[in-house]
Amino acid sequence: MSYETILIDKVASTAIVTINRPNKLNALNKETIGELQDVFNELQKDKKIKAIILTGSGEKAFVAGADISEFSDFNVKEGKKLAAKGQKKLFDFIENLSTPVIAAVNGFALGGGLELAMACHFRVASDNAKMGLPEVSLGVIPGYGGTQRLPQLVGKGRAMEMIMTAGMITAEQAHSYGLVNHVTSPEELLPLCHKIISKITNNSSVAISYAIKAVNAGFKNTVNGYEQEIEAFGACFGTDDFTEGTTAFLEKRKADFPGS
């Protein structure tokens, strides 16, 4: 199958999935999310594929977030649906995929982009990567599992600070937080992922799929947190702060939040 916004390259038993909207810093619009769902469904069924690398095209971004232009006029119901559908069909699906998925973070991984990287089984970053959850600067909260997976990976305090400040951390900081496993030069990013995969594919793919299931099971008691996130994310869409935050971004100006 061919896709408008995704490139798939298969090298031996590894599939490299590249999100390909470089002019929009690979922001996740509806089409990209739908295509990613189809791609991961297709790869899950492909028994020849033993590992997947997910990355972004161009030198600047992995994924700079959900496409703000698509949801800035959503109401509470639409906001809630956006988070619920995205979590179930893509982010949770990737996390629970039986094939190992590595995020090769090659630049900005912000908002939905960092959430996508966090849904992967682990992350490797290039030294120019920048990561953050800037949603509260738009008057909304992370809605694709970010409020749950970031504390799991970096601890509650660091996650709270990252989410509240809406700031970005460098690849080195992300490494020291345990958010990414390795940092390397942009040129070495994919070769390093392939090197790790060559170790993974020496092992039983059946045992690995059971290990993924078992590790993920340890975090399932957070399921109510995800539901809480969907409710809170949806509620943001009924606030004046959300209207101001997204409008200000699209008008390329600083937001002036009314605080309601």
Q: Considering only CA atoms, which of 62, 40, 38, 35 is closest in space to residue 51? A: 40
Residue from 51, 64, 120, 174 in contact with ligand COA (CB under 6 A): 64
**Closest distance to ligand COA from the beta carbon of 24 (Å):** 4
Nearer of residues 60 and 194 to ligand COA, judged by Cβ: 60
Residue 31 tokens, joined: 């089409």
> Given strand 14-19, what is the order of strands in its sheet?
6-11, 14-19, 51-56, 101-105, 122-126, 182-184
**Closest distance to ligand COA from the beta carbon of 66 (Å):** 5
Asked if 116 interacts with ligand COA (CB under 6 A), we say no
**Closest distance to ligand COA from the beta carbon of 168 (Å):** 8
Burial of residue 24, with CB atoms counted within 10 A of its CB: 0-12 exposed, 13-18 middle, 19 or more buried? middle
- Contact present, 27 and 64 (Cβ < 8 Å): yes
Nearer of residues 211 and 235 to ligand COA, judged by Cβ: 235
Residue from 111, 139, 146, 151 in contact with ligand COA (CB under 6 A): 111
Which residue is listed with tokens 């038993």?
A: 13
78 catalytic? Reply is: no
Which region, judged by CB under 6 A, interacts with ligand COA, from 23-31, 78-86, 173-181, 215-223?
Answer: 23-31
Nearer of residues 50 and 80 to ligand COA, judged by Cβ: 80
- Contact present, 113 and 64 (Cβ < 8 Å): yes
Task: Please state, in angstroms and rounded to a whole number, the distance separating the CA atoms of residues 74 and 80.
Answer: 9
Binding mask of the shown chain, residues 24 to 43, with x at each position contacting ligand COA by CB under 6 A: xx-x----------------
Which region, judged by CB under 6 A, interacts with ligand COA, from 62-70, 98-106, 205-213, 228-236?
Answer: 62-70
- Contact present, 108 and 138 (Cβ < 8 Å): no
Which are the catalytic amino acids?
115, 135
